[in-house]
Structure 1
């Protein structure tokens, strides 16, 4: 079974886009704590691109894949 490669554009967005509202407003998405992402998982992710990005970030963190973002973080 072939592993699908993450979308480089989406990964780039995770290291530059800031949370637009809430407790962690203005925190870069990749720096959001897992507990906050899990809260969204329980309550429901926002609709659209933001929800997709938050859900992706949760999957990355829960699977110990944050090192995928390290090269991108260095470039920001």
Structure 2
């Protein structure tokens, strides 16, 4: 029941080598990603869930908003 010898740690150096990239491609890719992720629709349409979802939510008390309320009708068009 003696002490176990400590494991010898090997010194390893990992290098990450990146192949050379075309600067024009990198600029195009950065601009394209910015355009995609910065996109917001100008006039998003409301989505009405299926009737059985609405009924299920109403039965469980998850739906506190009446979707047929005339004051809220402009939000669901």
Q: TM-score range by the shorter chain?
A: under 0.3
TM normalised by structure 1 equals: 0.24
* Higher Cα radius of gyration: 2
Report which of the two has the higher share of helix.
1
Q: Bigger relative contact order, structure 1 or 2, given CA contacts below 8 A and separation 6+?
A: 1
TM normalised by structure 2 equals: 0.24
